[in-house]
């Protein structure tokens, strides 16, 4: 069974009726590698079987994102070729769900989106749910917040808003959500807020927040113990690195005050829309921090 644009080959149908499909495409929308860590945890700790594969050669730019390969003294050893696929996974309570994972396509976005919508309809999924992570001006010393988004207000009715309207660079995950809504497939996503100064490193705490949000939304029983332990170890290492420089401590303290002030306001019974931080302000803070960091590194 092949898709309309021949980008997907389905090997078998899922055994679970109307399964939830999680999706995470690495690359642009994966600050702190939170989505990758979340998905790799599920696939390593839960029983799973590949049920569909994508023709990645037609949508992936290998020269822009060269795969890793080894050279062993006098010969090449092996190469880690990327894959884009769908796995059927069984949660800790025996309930099945699906995971679409792999690198974000570089080419043929329209065809890719149409084929993924076709797949969702063929498999009769009950919810198309993305897990992502974005840089955010928040300190690592506070809980990781998660923004929920969907074109169906009912799916996110009990979720707090953290930001107003803004324009962002397009990405495949957002395009998929739009196309799923056009096809009347229930769809939504979670975006974890990763401290902007940690967005380039692995940040397990954000992966924990994503899986907790998924579990609360879907009722899936997901393994979190090992990932939480990894997050605790990472948090301890971050604390040591931050404490090594007074400038870092001061920056974190400023972020803590900003975070606490916002959360105090957000706890009010009614939060006026004008109290939400402006998207341009958040982007400016992130850019200012990165510019200062690059300047300090250049002086070093």
- 229-274: pLDDT as tens digits: 999 999 999 999 888 888 888 889 999 998 888 888 776 644 454 4
Options 3.40.50.10900, 3.30.450.20, 3.90.1150.10, 3.40.50.460; CATH for 8-299 is: 3.40.50.10900
In the numeric block, which tokens belong to residue 2? 């092949």
For residues 51 and 14, the answer to whether their CB atoms sit within 8 Å is yes
> What was the pLDDT predicted at 265?
79
Mean pLDDT for the stretch of residues 7-12:
95
123-179 pLDDT per residue, tens = 999 999 999 999 999 999 999 999 999 989 999 988 888 877 888 889 999 999 999
For residues 197 and 250, the answer to whether their CB atoms sit within 8 Å is no
SS3 286: helix
> What was the pLDDT predicted at 269?
46
Residue 189 predicted with pLDDT over 70: yes
Domain ranges of the chain: 8-299
Of 265, 285, 250, 206, the C-alpha closest to 34 is 206
269-290 pLDDT per residue, tens = 444 544 555 556 655 665 665 5
Length of the chain counted residue by residue: 300
> What was the pLDDT predicted at 288?
62
CB atoms within 10 A of CB 136: 26
Grade residue 191 by pLDDT with cuts at 50, 70 and 90. Answer: very high
Q: What percent of the chain has pLDDT over 70?
A: 88
Residue 196 predicted with pLDDT over 50: yes
Q: What percent of the chain has pLDDT over 90?
A: 73
Residue 221 predicted with pLDDT over 60: yes
């Amino acid at each position: 069974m092949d898709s309309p644009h021949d980008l997907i080959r389905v090997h078998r149908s899922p055994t679970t009726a109307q399964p939830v499909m999680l999706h995470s495409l690495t690359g642009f929308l994966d600050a702190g590698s939170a989505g990758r860590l979340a998905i790799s945890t599920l696939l390593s700790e839960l029983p799973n079987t590949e049920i569909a594969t994508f023709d990645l050669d037609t949508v992936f730019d290998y020269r822009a994102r060269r795969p890793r390969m080894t050279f062993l003294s006098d010969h090449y050893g092996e190469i880690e070729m990327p894959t884009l696929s769908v796995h059927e996974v069984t949660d800790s309570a025996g309930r099945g769900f699906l995971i679409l994972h792999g690198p974000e396509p570089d080419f043929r976005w329209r065809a890719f989106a149409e084929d993924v919508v076709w797949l969702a309809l063929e498999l009769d999924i009950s919810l198309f749910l993305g897990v992502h992570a974005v840089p955010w001006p928040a300190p690592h010393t506070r809980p990781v917040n998660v923004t929920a988004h969907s074109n169906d207000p009912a799916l996110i009715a009990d979720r707090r808003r953290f930001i107003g309207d803004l324009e962002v660079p397009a990405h495949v995950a957002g395009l998929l959500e739009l196309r799923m809504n056009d096809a009347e497939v229930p769809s939504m996503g979670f975006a974890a807020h990763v401290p902007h100064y940690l967005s380039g490193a692995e940040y397990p705490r954000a992966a924990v927040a994503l899986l907790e949000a998924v579990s609360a939304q879907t009722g899936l029983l997901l393994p979190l113990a090992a990932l939480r332990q990894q997050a605790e170890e990472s948090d301890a290492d971050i604390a040591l690195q931050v404490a090594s420089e007074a400038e870092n401590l001061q920056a974190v303290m400023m972020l803590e005050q900003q975070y606490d002030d916002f959360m105090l306001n957000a706890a009010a019974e009614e939060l006026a829309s004008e109290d939400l931080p402006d998207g341009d302000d958040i982007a400016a803070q992130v850019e200012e921090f990165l510019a200062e960091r690059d300047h300090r590194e250049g002086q070093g």
